[in-house]
Structure formats: C-alpha cells, structure tokens
Amino acid sequence: MRIVIIGNGVAGMEAALAVRRREPSWDISLISEESDHFFSRTALMWVFSGQMSHRDIEPLERDAYERLGLRRVRARAMGVDTANRLVLLAGGREPVPYDRLLISCGSRPRPGPWPGSDAYGVGHFVTLQDLAWYEREVHGGASLGGEPPRPEEHLSASASDSPYRFRQVAAERRGRLAQQPAIIGGGLIGIEAAEVAVTAGLRPRFFIREEWFWPIALEPRESRWIASRMSQHGVDVHLEHEVETLETDDDGNVAAVRSNHGRYETDCVVIAIGVLPNTSWLAESGIELDERGGIVVDEGLQTSAADVFSAGDCASVRWFDGTRRPEQLWYTARDQGRVAGRRLLGDSPRYERGAWYNSAKLMDIEYTTAGLVNWNLDGEKSWFFEEKGKVRSTTRVVVQEGRVVGFNMLGRRWDHSVLIRWIEEQRSLDWVLGHLNAAAFDTELVPPLQIPGA
Amino acid sequence: MDQQGQNGLLTTYREGWRNRSVVGLAISLLLVTFYVVLYWEHKVEEQLGVAPLTAVSEAMGLRNRWYLYGFLYSVAMVAGAIYYLRRHGNSRYNRFRITVNVAIQIALGFTLPFIMPLFGGKEVYFSYFWPLKYDYLYPQTLADLPLYFALYTVVGSLIAAPVMAVLFGKRWYCSWVCGCGGLANTFGDPWRHLTSKSTKSWRFEQLSIHLVLLIAIATTFLIGLDSLIGSEHPTFHRIVAGNDWKDWSIKSFYGFAVGSILAGVIGTGLYPIFGPRVWCRNFCPMAAILGWVQKVGRYRIKVKPGMCISCGNCSTYCEMGIDVRSYAQADQSFTRASCVGCGMCAHMCPRGVLKLENSWERPEDKERQRLSVVDF
C-alpha cells in the first residue's frame, strides 16, 4: 500500500504516525516544500527572539523519519492527477504515485490588499521562510540556534506563487537593519510579531482596523487591559486605523504606512491579517474546494475524490454550530490528522468537533476560553469580574437562559476541560461561581481567585 | 504584579556566552581549573611552591580553602539568584523556591559550619544527607559526630528524606534544600537549555546514575564491614579504607571519582557545555534514591488535556533533559524519576498546560498517544 501525505505539519505527521504504528511495512511518503522536519509553527516567535532554536521547536528527534521508515520528498506539489493517482511535483520532479492520499498542506498568509503590499521590506510571519525574512530584517540573521537543515533545498522544485520562497530583505538592500517596524492586523500573529520586535529593542507600531484589539475573542474591558500591557511593553497601538497604502522609496523599499489617520514612517512591515487555505495548486485537480479555498470533506475527512482525504488548516470541516469552514488551530489539526490516519488505514472513523475551546498568550497575559463567547446569542448576558490584587485577572462567564454557556478568562490559568463539563451539565451561574476554583489550574502558591459575595 | 507564566521573551540563543561560544568554553575552563586546584591543591603546591586558595582564604580570615569555597559558592548562588529572579521572579513558586534555597545555603551550608568550631563544636552540615554526603553513614564519621547530629543524619538519610519525597517529590530536597541543586538553579541557570533531551542522553542517565548509586551503597557497606572486621583483616582494611589518607583505597577512590571528579570538576565545571544539572541528572546517588521514591509518591506534573501546541518551551528549558513536550502533547500526566520539580516547564508554558502538584490520585493510565519518537 502506497500512502502519500502532502504536508509535513502536525496533521500530516499525526496521520503518518498512526499509519506506521499499525502497518510497519506500508510505503509512506511525506511531501513538503517548506521544511525537512516537522516543526511547531506556533513556536516561530520564540525562534525569532532567541528563546528557542529550530531544533527546539521540532517535536521529533531528527532521525525519526529514518527510524520510522517515512520517506520525504522536498518539493512543491503542483496538482493531483486523480485518474492516474499521481501527485505532480514542481521543478520537473517525477510524479509520486499513491493508493491513498492525504492532503494536509495547511495555510498560507493572506496577502495584503493595499498598493505596495509586495514592496521590499513587507512580509508575513507564518512560514519558516517568513521567519528567516523577518529575522534578517530586524536582527540581520538567525540566532545562535542556527537555521533549519537544508533551508534552500526546495528552491529548485518550487513555484513563483509559493509561500515558501524567500523574500528579498530591505535591510540588506539599504545596508541598515529595520528601526521602525509596523505590524498590520489585530490578531494573534500580529501581537506575536509586535512582541518579538519589542524583544529586539524596537518600538513597533501595531495597526489595528477594529475599535479594540481582537474583537473576535475579547470584549472592550478585556481588550483594554491587553492594549495597556502592549503599551507598557513598548508597542505603539493604533486602533481604528484603516490602512490605505504602503508607500515605497525610490529603491522600492517600504517607507511608510498610510492609513486614514495619516502617514507613519516605517522600514519593515509585517502583514498579519489572517491565513487562507494553501490550496491554489489544486485548482486544476478537480477536487472540490469551497468559496474560501478550503478542501470540502465529509464527516470522515474524505474529499470529493476517491481515496483522497484532507486534514488540518486546508480542510473545510463541519463545526459544532453546523457551518462548514476551515479550523485553523493546532489541536484541531492534530485531531483531524489522527482521524485521517485511520482513514488511510481503511477504518471509517468520523471527525467530531467537540465544544469550542482555545488558549493564547497575549504579551504576558494568558488567555483561556471555553464554550460560546462572543457569539451574540439571543438573550446572552456576561457576568464579569476584574481582579486587581496581587494577581490580576479578568473572569467572564456568559449565561443564556439561566445556564452558563461560555467562559473567557485572562490572567489566571484554568482547566478548560472542567469548564466545558460544567457547560455540558448546564450549570447555573451561581453554582459555577461557587465552584470556580475547582477549575483553577494556577501554578502552586498562587492565591486562589476570590470573588466577593460568591 | 504576580503572573502565572513567563514574563517577556528570553533571548537565550542570541547570547554567545550561553551557547558554547569561545566565552562559554572559557568560563567552563575556568571552573574546571578552579575545581582541580581546590581538590588537588597539595599537588599544585608541590609544583609551584604556593597554595593559592589556602593563601587567599587565610588572607580573608576564612581559616582554610574549604570555607573559601563555601563563601564563593554562596556568592555565586546569590548572584545567580538575582539573575534568575529578574527573569522568572514574577512567579511565586520560583521566588519562594530560590529564596529558600539560597537562605539554606547561606545559613546551613556556610555560616553555621563556619561558626560552630568557634564555640568548640564540630562543623556539621544540616542540609546534606547520605548518600550525597557519602561519609555521613561511615561508622567512623558517625562515631566522631555529636550524638544529636549522628541521629539527625541517620534518621534524615534513611527515613525523613525518602518520606518527604513520597509526600512532595524529590523536589523538596533537590530544588529547595540541596546546595548542588541550588547552584545549578542560580549560577547555572543561564545554561539550562543546554541539557540534552535526546533519547541517548536519557539512556546514559539511567545507566550512570544507578551505577553510581550501586557503588555508593557498596562503598558504604564495605566501610561499615571494615569497622567490624578491619582490625583482624589488615589486607581487607588496606583495600577498603587504606592505612593513610594518601593511600588508594575503595574509600578514597569513591571520594576521588564521585566526590571530586563527578560532583565537582564535571558536575559544575561543565555547566556551560552540558547544562547545569550534569551531576544531579547523571550521577547523584541521592537523586537516584529519591527518584525511585518519587515514582511511587504523590508528586507529578499534571497535563491539561488537548491544549498543548507542541512549541517545546517546556522541553527546551528542562534542566534535567526531560522531553516534557512528549507527555504534554499526549495529554499524559506523568512522574519522571529525574524530575527535580524546579517548575520551569509550567512557568515557560505559554498555554498553561502544565502544573506541578502533589496528589494521591493517580493520573489515569490511558493509552499514550505517542507522538514523540522517544516512546514510539
């Protein structure tokens, strides 16, 4: 049996491990343009700051592929010939035949829609090559942790529209490192790009279109705290800025961001306005895509083509609310990869998305959410408490018709699995507030949250 | 403001002296040289005609070079603690732990042993137990010690230390009390990311630490036997204990190989190359015993299910070389024998996935989702 997996990320690797665990002799190939090694994409910011090396963000030992007999192909996939069961590769490489195929090729950064978005000194912070670009703009190169192995190996089998090509570095054209970075886009990648610039000793400008930072997850009272932490750490937060143009100098290097509030000089711009399914290469393959570019899959993660499955960021899956769209999260990609692995083995499991939960770290403030928050449910009310003692935190419990349906927590650590259980048990607000510390996951010696009157 | 996790990003890999650069290697060479002179000063004196450390200690009024060592050790711990707390002092666990550890070193590791002889007492170390302080169960040592301290050391080594490890894990000793651990977590902290996480290094550790434990127990046993039968069997006595302190014997070999080479020269001298817990992880016989006890006790690292993003901060900053990430991404709460409970994995985790705790409740032994090849 020939298993081919496109994408060496968490979904693809989980699937490969699931297959190998049960079928020691099957032929498994992983096609990846970006990297020789599976790495944690969520950890790029720490490589930039120097907190971790490339080796540190790889969950597997480097000889894992050899030990597990996983063949690697370092090239860009250019299409799938479903009739002849072949994956076509760039650079004139031999097509790879498959019996069962998993497409887990992830996301690509959403390109900037503004004039000047392709100027020198403008980039993203999503791929390994984006990281290399941003490091060269700000630090002049990689940390002592080094570069990933064979960083340019894929360039002979790439394509001009690939997100894994290296950008020209404005700092090198100018002969001066970036002094005044600007980040556009008020989400998680944006705040990471801003935080790492602060660590490099710079004072980045952070352009956010919305009224407050990250409105999809936070309400104003929560977001204000985050924004004030950003300011304290040296980020210039610009709220309600609609970017209009990225201006360039005579050499084509980015020189300024022009927004509806004025012109701001810059020499390096990170566009962090979200990601898109990385599926443009599939346009001719006849595999059904949705209007967002996500690969349409059924409950068992099968695509419209026989023996072709999809998992991770690129797959449009059914959410808990019944809608169908890609889930761009680490742990959903991991879970989908496990399901896809069993599909490749011939089982018929279903991917069932449980209750929503997530976490993040916003500068130095930790965030945990569970259940339905910011969904504007009929008659929903938020119970909110801000703790301003030795520990600072905010606690928000969303209630609908007397039942707790969601939690949004900042500052303290919480076990989301307990919070989700309470939601499923349809607990009342009073009950939840009375038992809240049973879900606490604070580190030892931290005094428990005390809610007056609860 | 108290915060849970790490406050601000680290720039570890952008600092050369922390990454085996020329400066890092020079620091290591300096430390190794210091330990060689400290342990074998009489040989240096034979060659050079001066005993440098003794001269310095006498000039400082510190009586002998071992008090100078204790003094420098305390200074290094205080300086390292300031370095550490500036980075990680926002966490209460780190703050309390390091403060207690430094205070114990200054009070019990230096001041008390220095003062006791002034009042005609014998210098004793309340913060060390057998088998780390390997001679504390030698019959001759026990006989020479004041009775109260002999009782303290026997009860402490054989009963109290293991019982405490059952209740709180080995961390009560290795990360809150012990001077070796204290130096590693303060002065050695800049190099904690250098500890190898490879499967090979884990295999080496399991072999080496148990080998040293075996030798420690055998040595103590033979020396105990020698005190019973040594006077009737001069050859046995000569081999086990030697007739003179300069003789090569089992006793002096243990002191040389384990006490000086493994704990001092390698254990501390190679901080900037192999990370700060070289001794604790690979050789300390006390850590081996407490590690076994820890496995059956209450201590564990609890993993919050489904939230790990496999970033690797926990594993990178584990000074004991535990691949914490492999457990976190498998949703598996765990107790590893080598874990000294420094709390850094929980501190560094950006998603609050990890929590140190003491609990009789056993982590459910669900079949491990083995993403890591370490356990594949």
Which of B10, B92, B96 is nearest residue A50 as measured by Cβ atoms?
B10
Domain around A314: 2-108+276-345
**Using CA atoms, how far apart are residues A412 and A366, in angstroms rounded to an integer?**
7
Point out which residues pair with A381 in neighbouring strands: A399
Distance CA B275, CA B198 (A): 14
pLDDT tens for A45-80 read 999 999 999 999 999 999 999 999 999 999 999 999
* Interchain proximity A60–B372, CB inside 8 Å: yes
* For residue B302, pLDDT beyond 50: yes
| A72 and A168, same domain (yes or no) | no
Give a yes or no: residue A87 inside a domain: yes
| Max intra-chain CA distance, chain B | 68
pLDDT of residue B363: 62
Domain-located, residue A326: yes
Average pLDDT over residues A176-192: 97
Contact between residue A334 and residue A11 where contact means Cβ atoms under 8 Å apart: yes
Give A363-394 as a DSSP string.
Answer: TTEEEEEEE--SS--TTEEEEEEEEESSBEEE
Question: How close does chain A come to B307, measured CA to CA in Å?
Answer: 7
Cα of A390 to nearest chain B Cα, Å: 6
Question: pLDDT category, B375, cuts 50, 70, 90?
Answer: very low
Q: Which pLDDT score is estimated for A374?
A: 85
Please indicate, yes or no, if residue A351 is contained in any of the structural domains: no
Contact between chains at A60 and B199 (C-beta distance less than 8 A): no
Tell me how far apart the alpha carbons of residues A142 and B239 are, in angstroms, rounded to a whole number: 57
The mean pLDDT of B39-54, rounded to a whole number, is 93
pLDDT tens digits, B135-168: 999 998 999 999 999 999 999 999 999 999 999 9
Same domain, A175 and A37: no
Query: How high is the pLDDT of residue B260?
Result: 94
Angstrom distance (rounded) from CA B223 to CA B240: 6
- On whether both A83 and A163 belong to a single domain, the answer is no
pLDDT score at B364 = 60
pTM above 0.90, yes or no: yes
CA distance B325 to B308: 8
User: pLDDT-derived band of residue A454, with 50, 70 and 90 as boundaries?
Assistant: low
Q: In whole angstroms, give the CA distance from residue A91 to residue A128.
A: 21
Give one DSSP letter per residue of A317-371, joined into a string. EE-TTS-EEE---HHHHHHHHHHHHHHHHT--------S-EEEEEETTEEEEEEE
Same domain for A172 and A316, yes or no, is no
Task: Point out the least confidently predicted range of B146-160, B175-189, B249-263, B358-372.
Answer: B358-372
Q: Which of A195, A359, A391 faces B307 most closely, judged by CB atoms?
A: A359
**Interface-testing mutation among A52, A54, A313, A390, with chain B (most B C-beta atoms within 10 A):** A52
Number of structural domains in chain A: 3
Residue A191 lies inside a defined structural domain of this protein: yes
Among A233-237, A259-263, A352-356, B318-322, the range scoring the smallest mean pLDDT is A352-356
Chain B hits for A444, CB-CB cut-off 8 Å, are: 92-93, 343, 355-357
So what's the pLDDT on residue A225? 96
Check A43 against B313: CB less than 8 A apart: yes
- Regarding whether A127 and A36 lie in a shared domain, the answer is no
pLDDT at res. B31: 97
Residue B326 to residues A8, A300, B330, Cα–Cα distance (Å)? 18, 27, 6
Cα separations in angstroms, A27 against A72, A204, A351? 11, 48, 25
Q: Which residues of B touch A8 (CB under 8 A)?
A: none
Query: B356: closest CA among B175, B177, B105?
Result: B175
Q: Are residues A85 and A118 in the same domain?
A: no
| Angle formed by the axes of helices A330-345 and A10-22, nearest 10° | 30
The complex scores an ipTM of: 0.95
* Alpha carbon B278 to chain centroid, angstroms: 8
In a domain, residue A32? The reply is yes
Instruction: Identify the pLDDT of residue B2.
Output: 61
Task: Let me know whether A334 and A369 are in one domain.
Answer: no
Interface contact B15, partner A, CB < 8 A: yes
B351:A40 CB<8 A: no
C-alpha distances (whole Å) from B93 to each of B161, B170, B191, B342 are: 21, 16, 20, 9
Same domain, A204 and A239: yes
Whether residues A92 and A9 fall in one domain: yes
Express each pLDDT in A278-333 by its tens digit.
Answer: 999 999 999 999 999 999 999 999 999 999 999 999 999 988 778 889 999 999 99
B185 touches chain A (CB under 8 A): no
Helix intervals (H) in B9-119: 22-39, 41-48, 52-59, 65-88, 92-104, 112-115
Read off the pLDDT of residues A5-48 as tens digits, 9 standing for 90 and up. Answer: 999 999 999 999 999 999 999 999 999 999 999 999 999 999 99
Is residue A350 domain-resident?
A: no
Least confident piece of the model among B24-33, B180-189, B246-255, B319-328: B246-255
Residues A117 and A237 in one domain: yes
CATH of region B298-375, choose from 3.30.70.20, 3.10.20.740, 3.90.1150.10, 3.40.50.10540: 3.30.70.20
Same domain, residue pair A104 and A60 = yes
**Distance (Å, whole) CA B176 – CA A364:** 27
Spell out which residues of chain B touch residue A51, defining contact as CB-CB under 8 Å: 9-13, 313, 316
Amino acid at A237: V
Inter-chain residue contact A446 with B92, CB threshold 8 Å: yes
- Provide mean pLDDT across the span A205-222: 96
Q: Is the pLDDT assigned to residue A434 strictly greater than 50?
A: yes
Chain B neighbors of A331, CB-CB under 8 A: 306-309
* A327 belongs to a structural domain: yes
pLDDT tens, position by position, B115-128: 999 998 888 999 99
Find the residue in A nearest to B306 (Cα): A331
Mean pLDDT of A103-119: 97
Which of A199, A331, A357 is opposite residue B11, by nearest beta carbon? A199
Q: Could you give the residue range(s) of every CATH 3.30.70.20 domain in chain B? A: 298-375
- The distance of B210 to chain A (nearest Cα, Å) reads 26
pLDDT of residue A318: 86
Measured between CB atoms, does B325 come within 8 Å of chain A?
yes
* Shared domain check, A238 and A125: yes
pLDDT of the residue at B368: 43
Percentage of chain A modeled with pLDDT above 90: 95
Does the pLDDT value for residue A366 go beyond 70?
Answer: yes
